[in-house]
Structure 1
Amino acid sequence: MTVAPGTTRPPRELADVPGWFPVLDQLLFTWFLDRQESRETRGDLLEVGVYMGKSAILLGQHRREGEQYTVCDLFEGDAPDDANRAEANKSYSKLTREIFEENYLSFHDELPRVLQGPSSILPDEIKPRSCRFAHIDGSHLYEHVYGDIGAAHDALLPEGIVVLDDFRSEHTPGVSIAAWEAVLNRGLRPVCLSTQKLYGTWDDPEPVQEELLAMLRERDDCHLSVQQAAGNRIIRLKSKGMAAPEFPYSRHWTKPEPKPAPAAAAAPAARHAPAPRPRPRRSPARKLAVDLLPPVVTRAIRRARANR
């Protein structure tokens, strides 16, 4: 089996898969998807840009019977333009479809629907209003992100959630411009912001925001602030020592061998008090002499014996 770069063995748990998917976003993905499922919101799942498959593996865990999960990536294929090609060569030169698929199949029995090519093919491949959740993490170039946001808008159900990655990283100004342009001019409503991702909807965000705030206020491992900007309520989140949510192990996981119990240290030999020395027996002549001597002399003899 091919092993992902930087690893020495197939992934045994989600943390073993290379990629940029912070614990806070793992929690938020899980919460939004669980909320949809508890409300019986049905729809397909979409991810643009998969890298080694870390977020895709989590998303695939939430695909239910009758739903389709589609991923789209260039992998090692040709980019549509020189700028995109330069970006792919710089950031994703080691990414191959084979590595993604093998990582994914470590956790799931079957692959998602894989579209290998530029995200511009999505409008022809995804039915309008068919998706409940879309994660956009492909190109960082403005024109491509602009198109990906438009494709997500057309693909999502009214109450669907879109997640835009790298919306405020210093090396991705194109994503920032496209994301906030969508908020100001294209009807996207922010639900919350993590350190890397913007979570939004083209529906009314207030109901989901209220539920999210209620959940977060019960936790002590997340910094929370609420601001207003251009008529939007902005919920900002930052991890505070947060642990990753539970996730099933891969098929490569094995129960760790129990460590052998440390050998019992040899008990120190018991220290015995020295046996009392036998008192010397006095001869009859000495005893008689002591009895016949004057008391002063007898006491002196006894003191001398005690000192000895």
Structure 2
Amino acid sequence: MTATLARAEQQRPRRLNDVKGWFPSLDQVLFASLLGRQERLGERGDLLEMGAYLGKSAIFTATFLRPDERFTVCDLFDAPAPDQHNAAEARKSYATLTRVAFEQNYLAFHDELPEVVQGPTSVLADELDPDTCRFVHVDASHLYEHVAGDIETAQRVLVPGGVVVLDDFRSEHTPGVAAATWEAVFNRGLRPICLSTQKLYGTWDDPEPVQEELLAEAHSRGDMKISIQEIGGQRVLRFGGRPENPPHPASRFADEPGREAARESAMVPGPRAGSPAAPAAAKTPRRRSRARRLAVDLLPPVATRALRRLK
């Protein structure tokens, strides 16, 4: 193996925490709780992430995607920004972000890419139909006008009972996000479910059933700080602490034995009581040869997708 190939393989993420980004364990727990609840209740709908950076939260979210659902990820990546203010923000905060880096990270954990929309999140107004998504994560621009538009898009595409997650709603360097978030709460009918250190979780429906389940889970875990606030007559849960990470999707580059089996089962629930067992003839994932694995890793994304279809 050449030194270049060896370095390339060493750089591939072997676990989720190897992917750079801001997605602490507290939010991983809340994502898993909310997405897992939707699956348990049979709530249907697509997943949407506005702003992906290098893919850490998208990789995690995708483990809850069902076969008949769509996962859309929208980001500028290395495309030109739509205005000078957005361009300045991208140069300052996301200078190292490229679509190739995102796709390589994502494909280390999942066999297929999500539907990637490379451009400003404003284009989603024409890309997505109303009432199609059950979970929307907003983590793109920090500029008020853009965030307000992203929240409007989230409200339009969410199904009844759907959840929106707004990142950086309280950071000192993102006052535009705070302004758009609380405007949505007081003027657009957004009802907060809970707050974490950096994200607000909300719905345009009744948050109480979700809140009760989150409270019960937090109490049973014992590793989360809990407080109950009231904002504008609405109950809001506030969670803190550094809880233990929920199960992570496993990378195909992990060194541990049995990593492929872990990758299949890490976040996928087993059969529930009374549900039919998996068919006995279900296929076992084939182990890739080393050469094929390196080719998938190093080829451009378009060629990578073509190679995957030949499996």
In structure 2, distance between residues paired with 1:188 and 1:173: 18
Query: Size of the alignment, in residue pairs?
Result: 254
Which runs of 5 or more residues in structure 1 are unaligned? 257-308
Report if the CA contact (8 A) 1:187-1:202 is conserved. yes
Q: Which has the higher contact order (CA 8 A, sep 6+)?
A: 2
Query: Which residue matches 2:247?
Result: 246
Distance 1:92 1:2, change over 3 A: farther
> Cα deviations across residues 26-73 of structure 1 (Å, max 9, x unaligned)?
010011000000000010000000000000001111110110000000
Decide which structure has greater helix share.
Answer: 2
Q: Deviations over 1:143-202 (max 9, x none)?
A: 000000000000000100000000000000000000000000000000000000000000
The corresponding residue for 1:61 is: 63
2:179 matched residue in structure 1 = 177
Read off the aligned partner of 1:155 and give its amino acid letter.
Answer: V
Distance 1:80 1:160 in 2: 29
* Kept after mapping to 2: 8 A contact 1:11/1:252: yes
Amino acid at match of 1:190: P
- Cα RMSD for the two superposed structures: 1.8
User: Please, which of 115, 122, 141 is the counterpart of residue 120 of structure 1?
Assistant: 122
Cα deviation, 1:202-250, whole Å, max 9, x if unaligned, reads: 01111111111111111221110001111111101101x4221111320
Aligned-partner Cα distance in 2 for 1:137–1:3 = 34
Q: Which residue of 2 aligns with 1:143?
A: 145
1:77 maps onto 2:87 in alignment? no
The amino acid of 2:178's aligned partner reads S
Normalising by structure 1, we get a TM-score of 0.80
Identical columns (%)? 59
CA contact (8 A) 1:2 1:99 kept: no
Task: Indicate conservation of the 8 Å contact 1:4/1:18, yes or no.
Answer: no
Contact 1:50 1:56 in 2 (8 A): yes
Q: Would the alpha carbon gap of residues 119 and 3 (structure 1) be closer, same or farther in structure 2, given more than 3 Å must change?
A: farther
Unaligned runs of 5+ in 2: 258-311
Task: Name the larger-Rg structure.
Answer: 1
Deviating beyond 3 angstroms after TM superposition, the runs of 4 or more aligned structure 1 residues are 1-5
- TM-score norm. by structure 2 comes to 0.79
Q: Is the 8 A contact 1:160 1:201 kept in 2?
A: yes
**Residue in 1 aligned with 2:93?**
91
Structure 1 distance, partners of 2:194, 2:69, is: 26
The aligned amino acid for 2:165 is V
- Residue pair 2:60, 2:249 contacting (<8 A) in 1 also: no
